[in-house]
Amino acid sequence: MTVGQVLLTQHDLAHRTQYLNARHTMERLFDMGVVPVINENDTVATDEITFGENDMLAALVAGLVGADTLILLTDTGGLYTADPRTSSEARLLERVERITEEVEELAGEAGSDLAIGGMLSKVQAAKVAVSTGADTFIADGRKASILQKIIDGKKPGTFFPATGTVRSRKRWIGYALPSRGRLIVDRGAATALTARRKSLLPAGVTGVEGDFEVGDCVEVVGPDGKIIGRGITSYSSTEAGLIKGLRSPRVAGVLGEKGEEIVHRDELVVFDEAPRDGKA
C-alpha cells in the first residue's frame, strides 16, 4: 500500500483557493492509488489558527473530500449515557439520530477529564461530519479488526447517520472559514432562517458583535444565544450596526444605497434547518 503524508493548517482551509487546492491534491492522490495520512502541520500552526483537536481536522477533511464515512477511534466503546469509568449504570448509545445539546452534554463538559481530547471533541466533530453527508462512527480503537467490522456493515460503538449533504462552498463557509463576528437575530428572523430558509434581512438583526468587513464570515445567533448558522456578510460591522432593525426601504436613507440582505441564503449555512418534504 502506498501512502503519502499531507500536513494541513487551519489557514489552508480558511482560504477558498487553498481549500480547493487541498481537495484537488487529495483527489489526485486517490487517482494514483495513494492513501493520504493527514495531520496538522504543528511546525507552522499557531494557537490562533489551529484545528484544536484532530477529531475536528478529521471532520473537516471528510467534508473536503466528500467522504461517505468518518470513523473516530477512542479508548471507550462509544458514547454512553454516563461516564462508564465511574457509573455502573452507564449505557452505550448504539445509534444517535440527531446531535442535540443534550447529546453533547452526555459527552462531558469542556475541561473535564472526559472532554479533553476525548468524547466531547468527537461528538462535536461528528456533528460537523453528518451535516456534510458522512455517516460517522465513534468506536473502540483497542478492539481487533474494528475497522473491518465497520466496513463489513456492522455498527460497533455509536453510529451517527448522515443528516445532510451540504455542498462544497457551504461546507467551507460553515465549518472551515473562521468567524469574525456575530449577528444576533430576533425570534421571527430565526424562524425565517431555519423553517423557511430565507435570507437574513436587516430588520431581523437586534445586535452586532465583533469587528468584521464585507465578505467576512459571521455567526448568526438566535435570541436564546444558540448559534443558528454561519454566513458571508454583505455589510461591515459598522454598517450592520447602523441598519440593524431597519426595514429595507429605510436602509437607503442611512447608508445612501439600496438595502440588501445582510447575509444571503446562498451564502448562509443553517445548522438546524427544519426538514422540507421529509428531507433534512
3-state secondary structure (DSSP) of residue 221: strand
pLDDT (0 to 100) of residue 235: 92
pLDDT tens digits for 90-111? Answer: 899 999 998 888 888 888 754 4
pLDDT (0 to 100) of residue 70: 96
Q: Measured at the alpha carbon of residue 74, what is the angle toward residues 12 and 22, in degrees to the nearest 5?
A: 15
Residue 54 in grid coordinates = 484532530
Range of the domain at 203: 178-270
Say if 260 falls within a structural domain.
Answer: yes
Residue 166 and residue 185 in one domain: no
DSSP state, 174?
A: I
Residue 63 and residue 96 in one domain: yes
Residue 109 and residue 199 in one domain: no
**Nearest residue to 54 via CA among 35, 38, 69, 34:** 38
pLDDT (0 to 100) of residue 131: 84
Identity of the highest mean pLDDT range in 40-44, 48-52, 157-161: 157-161
pLDDT band at 266; cut points 50, 70, 90: confident
184 compared with 259, residue with greater pLDDT? 184
Average pLDDT, the chain: 84
Residue 136 and residue 187 in one domain: no
For 181, residues 6+ apart whose C-beta sits below 8 A from its C-beta are 208, 209, 210, 211, 212, 216, 218, 219, 233, 237
Single out the residue in 170, 188, 223 at which a domain terminates: 170
pLDDT band at 258; cut points 50, 70, 90: low
CATH number of the domain to which 162 belongs: 3.40.1160.10
Q: Measured at the alpha carbon of residue 105, what is the angle toward residues 53 and 62, in degrees to the nearest 5?
A: 35
Say if 110 falls within a structural domain.
Answer: yes
pLDDT (0 to 100) of residue 178: 82
CATH number of the domain to which 259 belongs: 2.30.130.10
Q: Phi/psi at 148 (nearest 5 deg)?
A: -65, -35
Residue 185 and residue 218 in one domain: yes
Q: Taking residues 217-244, what's their average pLDDT? A: 93
Residue 162 and residue 188 in one domain: no
pLDDT at 275 over 50: no
Single out the residue in 149, 170, 191 at which a domain terminates: 170
Say if 17 falls within a structural domain.
Answer: no
Say if 57 falls within a structural domain.
Answer: yes
pLDDT (0 to 100) of residue 213: 92
pLDDT (0 to 100) of residue 110: 44
The one-letter amino acid code at 136 reads T
pLDDT tens digits for 77-93? Answer: 999 988 887 888 889 99
pLDDT at 48 over 60: no
Q: How far apart are CA 194 and CA 177, in angstroms?
A: 21
Q: How far apart are CA 59 and CA 82, in angstroms?
A: 24
pLDDT at 230 over 70: yes
pLDDT tens digits for 16-31? Answer: 788 888 889 999 999 9
Say if 117 falls within a structural domain.
Answer: yes
Q: Quick one: what percent of the chain has pLDDT higher than 90?
A: 45
pLDDT at 72 over 90: yes
Query: Rounded to an integer, what is the distance from CA 49 to the centroid of its chain?
Result: 16
Single out the residue in 139, 170, 201 at which a domain terminates: 170
pLDDT at 179 over 70: yes
pLDDT (0 to 100) of residue 42: 74
Q: How far apart are CA 91 and CA 78, in angstroms?
A: 10
Say if 131 falls within a structural domain.
Answer: yes
Q: What is the domain count for the chain?
A: 2
pLDDT (0 to 100) of residue 107: 84
pLDDT tens digits for 96-154? Answer: 998 888 888 888 754 444 443 478 889 989 988 898 889 999 999 999 999 999 999 88
pLDDT at 44 over 70: no
pLDDT at 276 over 50: no
Q: Phi/psi at 121 (nearest 5 deg)?
A: -65, -35
Q: How far apart are CA 85 and CA 76, in angstroms?
A: 9
Which of 4-13, 167-176, 204-213, 236-245 comes out lowest in average pLDDT? 167-176
Which of 8-17, 69-78, 221-230 comes out lowest in average pLDDT? 8-17
Say if 155 falls within a structural domain.
Answer: yes
Residue 58 in grid coordinates = 478529521
